[in-house]
Structures are given as C-alpha cells and as structure tokens.
Amino acid sequence: MAAVSGLVRRPLQQMTVRDAINQGMDEELERDEKVFLLGEEVAQYDGAYKVSRGLWKKYGDKRIIDTPISEMGFAGIAVGAAMAGLRPICEFMTFNFSMQAIDQVINSAAKTYYMSGGLQPVPIVFRGPNGASAGVAAQHSQCFAAWYGHCPGLKVVSPWNSEDAKGLIKSAIRDNNPVVVLENELMYGVPFEFPAEAQSKDFLVPIGKAKVERQGTHITVVSHSRPVGHCLEAATVLSKEGIECEVINMRTIRPMDIDTIEASVMKTNHLITVEGGWPQFGVGAEICARIMEGISEKLVLEYSQAVIIMYLNIHWIKRSETRDGQVTWFNLPCVQLPGCSCCSSHWC
C-alpha cells in the first residue's frame, strides 16, 4: 500500500487561510461533541468574514450559536460554559471589540486556573481578525498581540499562512487553556500551498514553537501574522544584493519561542523585528529585551560587534572597549535608519 501511495504523487492543494480555519474548526467540531462556536453572525450569516461558512448548516443551532451584540455578555457566557466542561470557540468579529469583553478574557479565563490552585481549567478559544485592515480607521485597526501577550495564563497565537491557520486553530481547540487566536482579515482570502500532512484530520501546529520560513546567514528577521509575507518579499529583494535574511515566523506570541530566535541571532548577529502593532511596549520590544537578557552575556565573550535594529523603533547596542580591555555595552534608544553609525551624542 505504502509503495503504491508513494508512486502516486498527491498534487499540492491550494488553500486560502479562510478555508483552512474553516476546515480546522469543522474537523474539531466533528471530533469532539463538547466543541461549539458562538459569536456575532457565525451561524446563519455564515460568519461576518465567511470563516464559519457551512458550519451552521452542518451542525445546527445547538453547536453554532448566533449571539446578540453583547461582547461582555457572550464572552462571559463562553467562559462559564468552559468552566462547566464544554469547549467553546468564542468569535470576536474583530479583536477591537474584545476590548469590551477583556475582563472576561483576563480575569475570568486566564487567571482562574492559577487562583483555584489548579482546580478549575478553562478550555476556551477566543478567535477573530486582529490588527490593521484596509482603511477601517483607528477604532477598527488595533493589534492586540502585546496586550494579550502580557498576561500569564493565556496562550496567544498568530497564524500567517493556511498551514499555520489550520494547525494552530486545531491545537488551540484541543488545548485545555484559554487560547487567543489572532487572525488577520486581509489574509483570509490569500491562497497558499497546502502540504499533504496538513490535509490530515490530526494535523496540529504546536503552540509555543516558531518556524524558520527561510534560512539565511546575514540578518535575522522575526515577525508574526501578515508581516511575515512582507519579510519574505523583502528577503527576496535583499537576496539580489547578496544579503541572505533568515525569516522567522513566530506563530506563537505567548509562550514565546525565544530559543529559535536566539539561535538565529547567534548565527547572524543582526536582528530586525517586524510587526503590525504599536512599537511602545510591543512584541518587538519584548523580543529585544529577551535577546538582550539572554544572549548579551554570550555575545560579549564571542562577538566583537552586535547591532540590533528594530523596525519602527530602533535600539543600538554598541560595544565599547577601553584601553585596559574593559568591555561595556550601551543600549541606546534612538530612531535611525539602518546603516547609520551611532555615536554617543545620540542618547535620547
């Protein structure tokens, strides 16, 4: 049998991110009776962005539930159902509206397992589009990766392509913890090659593990969600100039896979973080902080110069050696384009 299937090469399927999420949810709804979906327009409308298309027709009112426009109320209802043993998927039409329900996500869901001394798990998934869309104005464009990524007790994932989307939503649903899945509206319609193993009903992408999308030796570029695509495009452009970027797709915001990023920076000595969120107190700021803490000691011993540049917000790390061999590291926050040399007059 194996020999035969080896001979017949399965063509690589093209799958949009939307269909990948749909397939992931469908498979999990089928697999476990306790899984159900609730949110605005998820049932009869087939989903505000058609992500849940066909699910209500297949599973009915009991498992695909349309809610009124009451985020705080229905998020709380979803968390309560999870406490009582069901496995809800709570959809926010966009994560901007989750701000109305954020107390239920953090105080009722994330903190409960800890506060109960391990007695009360909350197996819930909060999902929906996050971050900027196309011209939807300030109130509909916020990225919540840093806000949710800040809180212990939550897991936060941010898929980029179809494989990520399907694998992560399935892992999130099977996880016994509250998981926030930050999708991206502009990615929903984008098709990707869907590898054979992703077509399996048991295909999972592990939470907490980043993926190196492109190998490189000169610069480490770390990103999540839609900007991963931009990074790969940039990498192609730079490759023509002889600069090979290593592009890392974080996939998970919390718990962050800092080991993969660290290993890459140790190899390349250069780091750029790329994200759609605001720079201050953001995901990139966290990555820089951890790299500084984690590898600064290793770098002092091994490398003569390490420069860390962050997109949208740039930190220069300059190594200075005095005559008697004393080494000091300066962390200088300043806004400069890459390629500028930094001097001490740039303290900001």
Partner 1 sequence: MRKMLAAVSRVLAGAAQKPASRVLVASRNFANDATFEIKKCDLHRLEEGPPVTTVLTREDGLKYYRMMQTVRRMELKADQLYKQKIIRGFCHLCDGQFLPLIQEACCVGLEAGINPTDHLITAYRAHGFTFTRGLSVREILAELTGRRGGCAKGKGGSMHMYAKNFYGGNGIVGAQVPLGAGIALACKYNGKDEVCLTLYGDGAANQGQIFEAYNMAALWKLPCIFICENNRYGMGTSVERAAASTDYYKRGDFIPGLRVDGMDILCVREATRFAAAYCRSGKGPILMELQTYRYHGHSMSDPGVSYRTREEIQEVRSKSDPIMLLKDRMVNSNLASVEELKEIDVEVRKEIEDAAQFATADPEPPLEELGYHIYSSDPPFEVRGANQWIKFKSVS
Neighbours of 68 (CB within 10 A): 8
Helix, strand and coil content of the chain, in percent to the nearest 5, comes to 40, 20, 40
> What are the Cα distances from residue 106, in Å, to 69, 91, 155?
20, 16, 11
**C-beta closer to partner 1: residue 197 or 259:** 259
Alpha-carbon distance 300 to 317, whole Å?
Answer: 11
**C-beta closer to partner 1: residue 65 or 285:** 65
Alpha-carbon distance 138 to 142, whole Å?
Answer: 7
* Phi/psi of residue 23, nearest 5 degrees: -65, -40
Residues 244-283 that bind partner 1 (CB under 8 A): 255
Alpha-carbon distance 57 to 177, whole Å?
Answer: 29
**Shortest Cβ 90–partner 1 spacing (Å):** 10
Asked if 200 is part of the footprint of partner 1 (rule: CB under 8 A), the reply reads no
Residue from 13, 48, 72, 336 touching partner 1 (CB under 8 A): that is 72
Instruction: Give the count of residues interacting with partner 1 (CB under 8 A).
Output: 46
**Shortest Cβ 262–partner 1 spacing (Å):** 13
Q: Does residue 122 contact residue 85 with C-beta atoms inside 8 Å?
A: no
Residue from 36, 95, 97, 316 touching partner 1 (CB under 8 A): that is 36
Residue from 16, 22, 67, 142 touching partner 1 (CB under 8 A): that is 67
Which listed range, 112-120, 212-220, 236-244, 315-323, lies at the site for partner 1 (CB under 8 A)? Answer: 112-120
**C-beta closer to partner 1: residue 21 or 78:** 78
Alpha-carbon distance 150 to 254, whole Å?
Answer: 8
Asked if 328 is part of the footprint of partner 1 (rule: CB under 8 A), the reply reads no
Asked if 84 is part of the footprint of partner 1 (rule: CB under 8 A), the reply reads yes
**C-beta closer to partner 1: residue 11 or 68:** 68
Known catalytic residues are 71, 140
Asked if 44 is part of the footprint of partner 1 (rule: CB under 8 A), the reply reads no
> What are the Cα distances from residue 137, in Å, to 132, 134, 183, 184, 279?
9, 8, 18, 16, 18
Neighbours of 122 (CB within 10 A): 23
Residues 288-327 that bind partner 1 (CB under 8 A): 293-294
**Shortest Cβ 202–partner 1 spacing (Å):** 18
Asked if 195 is part of the footprint of partner 1 (rule: CB under 8 A), the reply reads no
Alpha-carbon distance 146 to 286, whole Å?
Answer: 9
Non-local (6+) Cβ contacts of 343 within 8 A are none
Of 279, 210, 276, the residue nearest 247 (C-alpha): 210
Residue from 6, 11, 117, 325 touching partner 1 (CB under 8 A): that is 117
**Shortest Cβ 36–partner 1 spacing (Å):** 7
Type and span of the H or E element at 88: strand 87-91
Tokens of 239: 């490759």
Asked if 85 is part of the footprint of partner 1 (rule: CB under 8 A), the reply reads yes
Residues 92-111 that bind partner 1 (CB under 8 A): 103-104, 107-108
Q: Does residue 317 contact residue 310 with C-beta atoms inside 8 Å?
A: no
**C-beta closer to partner 1: residue 197 or 293:** 293
Site string for partner 1, 163-192 (x = CB under 8 A): ------------xxx---------------
**Shortest Cβ 46–partner 1 spacing (Å):** 20
Alpha-carbon distance 203 to 201, whole Å?
Answer: 6
Residues 132-161 that bind partner 1 (CB under 8 A): 152-153, 155
